[in-house]
Structure 1
Amino acid sequence: MSVPEVLFVCVHNAGRSQMAAALLHHHARGRVGVRSAGSTPAEEVNPAVVDAMAELGIDVSRRFPTKLDAETVQASDVVVTMGCGDACPVFPGKRYLDWELDDPAGRTLDEIRPIRDAIDARVRKLLTELVPEG
């Protein structure tokens, strides 16, 4: 049986989508394929996001923003968008979710923690839908 593939997309792939991908990867422990991308990728992952994730014992310091392409969307079963508007290509047969979340860009670590925690709650719920505990 193949594992479901999930793609998280935001504009810069430097905050929300990076946190979501890292959290799903952490919780899924290989039961789900995980990718992230951005419609206009930044140069680096937001340093405050790196710090927020480090608080949970998840290292995203070596990750880098990736450009969204149609092939990545095509290879995904679930595409979760976070503020990227119409930049994400739509293919029939894919499940699309749009998570409205504040952008962590320009925010302090204290302001990012609630965003991270909201993403974590949604990721955990998505994981139970994709891979029900047997």
Structure 2
Amino acid sequence: MTSPTSAFRPSVLFVCVHNAGRSQMAAAFLTHLSDGAVEVRSAGSQPADTVNPAVVEAMSEVGIDVSAEVPKVLTTDAVKESDVVITMGCGDSCPFFPGKRYEDWVLEDPAGQGVEAVRPIREEIRARVEELIRSLLPSSS
């Protein structure tokens, strides 16, 4: 297998409103499952103060610690520097640059929900991230 530093390393930006749930889970899964082969960013159009505690718990259940993550504000530079921009309910607040790959993942918002409601969202995100990895790193399938 080619090491991530010896070949093109794609970059992905996950964007949701608060950067406290869906985008944090997606970024954590992509970081974990790509084993460093993909540069990962996440941001929010109106970032929360902290990551959703139910999201922290749900991700901990699958061995991924997001407790130290901090929601970040979406910047034009983050979009410019990414090859793929995946939005999750942020509407028109995400800047658009021609030539980038954009996807909109329609997912339930975990805000205000308990861990029981977050688990199925987590699993849907994991499946989408696995598919994303196959499209970005065909040799990893």
TM range (shorter): over 0.9
In the other structure, the counterpart of 1:63 is 69
Question: Which blocks of at least 5 consecutive residues in structure 1 are unaligned?
Answer: none
Q: How far has the Cα of 1:133 moved from its partner? A: 2.0
Does residue 119 of structure 2 align to residue 116 of structure 1? no
> Residue 25 of structure 1: SS of its match in structure 2?
helix
In the other structure, the counterpart of 2:87 is 81
Which residue, 6, 17, 22 being the options, matches 2:12?
6
d(CA) in 2 for partners of 1:112, 1:25: 20
Question: Alignment RMSD, CA only?
Answer: 0.7
> Residue 139 of structure 2: SS of its match in structure 1?
coil
> Residue 26 of structure 1: SS of its match in structure 2?
helix
d(CA) in 2 for partners of 1:108, 1:38: 21
Q: How far has the Cα of 1:96 moved from its partner? A: 0.2
Q: How far has the Cα of 1:2 moved from its partner? A: 2.3
TM-score under structure 1 length normalisation: 0.99
Identity %: 62
TM-score under structure 2 length normalisation: 0.94
Query: 1:1-134 residue pairs with structure 2 within 5 A?
Result: 1-133=7-139
Question: Which blocks of at least 5 consecutive residues in structure 2 are unaligned?
Answer: 1-6
| Aligned positions, number | 134
d(CA) in 2 for partners of 1:18, 1:57: 15
